[in-house]
């Protein structure tokens, strides 16, 4: 699949549920209204759409959400999709999780061919953790990380940089992650969805974080790529990898290789634009995939050049009304 700007689309992110067992302050309001179950694609339908994308050349699939591991029976989807790893059509099947359910699922994930996972941890301070996630329990996440390690999964920690909340802890997060053999990626808050608060208060440009880290550490640019939007450096003092995802201070649209599917079968061709394509109707209209394939091709032909997120005092409303939990991080 090649879009109008010559970019090869080889990466599909799938939000398998909009529900989550956390309520991170920058992601969701505490009282979220979730989708009625009837609107969701079944696990069999998700498998069918993902498989159609694999047949069209997608090499990397990431399950996300909401919290992917709270979707009932999610392991049957993982197991089903692993057939594309065995056939060699898919290079990577991975997931982004808050870690709360990893104790239960890490070994099974590894058994189904998952090699790497992203776990979101913005702070290791249990009190702050509760304040950021509202409902989360850091002890459970720590146990989940141990289970993932024991299962042999490579782990990348994702941390959203939040002004006045975890900015004083980033150095420590870096030492911890690298000390445990995990990569760390820092993310700028993106203006997605109404969150009952002002994002300008939370937004911390990563250019500032990087400059601060450079006072203490030697950061060497490296060409390492995971297929995602992060730019990586090697931290000489720890030997570990540090990534920066900077949709605001420096967007990464020119190398975008991704599209995102929601749990209702809506395909977003860009995280930062409203334009979308409905894949559920063509999926359900026919048992064969010809309508679905045509809808995917048409959607890719509309992939936009990029997005333009802005957060400042004049633009403190969400750029888009949908939350990150809809399209997945
Ligand atoms: N529940 C899973 C998790 O916690 O990783 C997967 C979904 S979550 C939406 C994926 C990632 O998006 C998390 O790392 C989260 O911190 C990040 N995220 C959510 N809302 C965001 C926002 N407005 N700006 C930047 N990152 C955000």
Q: Where are the alpha helices (DSSP H) in the chain?
A: 43-55, 74-87, 102-111, 126-133, 138-150, 170-179, 206-216, 280-285, 290-300, 324-327
Helix count and strand count (H, E) for the chain: 10, 12
Tell which residue, 277, 262, 267, 278, has the closest CA to residue 323: 262
Largest CA distance in the chain: 59
- pLDDT at residue 141, as a whole number: 98
Q: Whose CA is nearest to atom 12 of ligand 1?
A: 329
Report the C-alpha gap between 132 and 70 in whole angstroms.
Answer: 19
| Ligand 1 and 144: CB distance under 6 A | no
| Ligand 1 and 324: CB distance under 6 A | yes
| Ligand 1 and 160: CB distance under 6 A | yes
Report the C-alpha gap between 165 and 131 in whole angstroms.
Answer: 9
Report the C-alpha gap between 289 and 292 in whole angstroms.
Answer: 5
- pLDDT at residue 291, as a whole number: 98
| Ligand 1 and 26: CB distance under 6 A | yes
For ligand 1, the distance from its centroid to the CA atom of residue 100, given in whole angstroms, is 14
Q: What is the DSSP letter of 315?
A: B
Q: Whose CA is nearest to atom 26 of ligand 1?
A: 189
For ligand 1, the distance from its centroid to the CA atom of residue 213, given in whole angstroms, is 23
For 48, 239, 300, the CA distances from 206, given in Å and listed in that order, are 38, 21, 31
| Ligand 1 and 158: CB distance under 6 A | yes
What residue ranges of the chain have pLDDT lower than 50?
Answer: none
With a CB cutoff of 8 Å and minimum separation 6, the contacts of 88 are: none
Against a cut of 0.85, is the pTM above it?
Answer: yes
- pLDDT at residue 254, as a whole number: 85
For ligand 1, the distance from its centroid to the CA atom of residue 94, given in whole angstroms, is 15
- pLDDT at residue 272, as a whole number: 80
| Ligand 1 and 99: CB distance under 6 A | no
For ligand 1, the distance from its centroid to the CA atom of residue 205, given in whole angstroms, is 17
Q: What is the pLDDT of residues 36-47, one digit of tens each?
A: 988 999 999 999
Q: What is the pLDDT of residues 292-314, one digit of tens each?
A: 999 999 999 999 988 766 655 55
- pLDDT at residue 20, as a whole number: 96
């Amino acid at each position: 699949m090649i879009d109008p700007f010559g970019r090869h689309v080889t990466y599909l992110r799938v939000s398998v549920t909009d529900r989550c067992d956390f309520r991170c302050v920058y992601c969701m309001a505490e009282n979220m209204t979730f989708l009625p179950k009837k609107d969701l694609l079944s696990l069999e339908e998700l498998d069918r759409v993902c498989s159609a994308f694999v047949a069209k050349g997608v090499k990397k699939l990431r399950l996300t959400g909401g919290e992917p591991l709270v979707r009932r029976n999610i392991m049957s989807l993982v197991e089903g999709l692993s057939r594309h790893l065995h056939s060699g059509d898919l290079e990577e099947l991975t997931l982004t999780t808050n870690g709360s359910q990893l104790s239960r699922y890490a070994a099974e994930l590894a058994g189904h061919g998952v090699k790497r996972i992203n776990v979101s941890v913005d702070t290791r301070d249990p009190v702050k953790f509760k304040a950021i996630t509202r409902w989360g329990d850091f002890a459970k996440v720590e146990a989940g990380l141990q289970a993932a390690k024991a299962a042999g999964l490579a782990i990348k920690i994702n941390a959203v940089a939040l002004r006045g909340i975890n900015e004083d802890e980033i150095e420590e997060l870096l030492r911890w992650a690298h000390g445990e053999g995990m990569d760390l990626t820092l993310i700028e808050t993106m203006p997605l969805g109404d969150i009952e608060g002002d994002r300008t208060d939370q937004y911390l440009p990563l250019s500032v974080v990087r400059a601060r880290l450079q006072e203490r550490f030697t950061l060497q640019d490296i060409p390492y790529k995971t297929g995602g939007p992060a730019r990586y450096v090697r931290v000489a003092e720890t030997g570990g990898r540090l990534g920066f995802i900077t949709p605001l201070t420096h967007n990464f649209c020119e190398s975008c290789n991704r599209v995102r599917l929601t749990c209702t079968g809506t395909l977003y061709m860009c995280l930062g634009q409203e334009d979308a394509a409905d894949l559920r109707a063509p999926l359900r209209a026919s048992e064969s995939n010809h309508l679905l394939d045509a809808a995917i091709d048409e959607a890719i032909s509309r992939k936009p050049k990029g997005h333009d997120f802005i957060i400042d005092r004049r633009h403190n409303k969400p750029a888009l009304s949908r939350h990150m939990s809809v399209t997945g991080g």
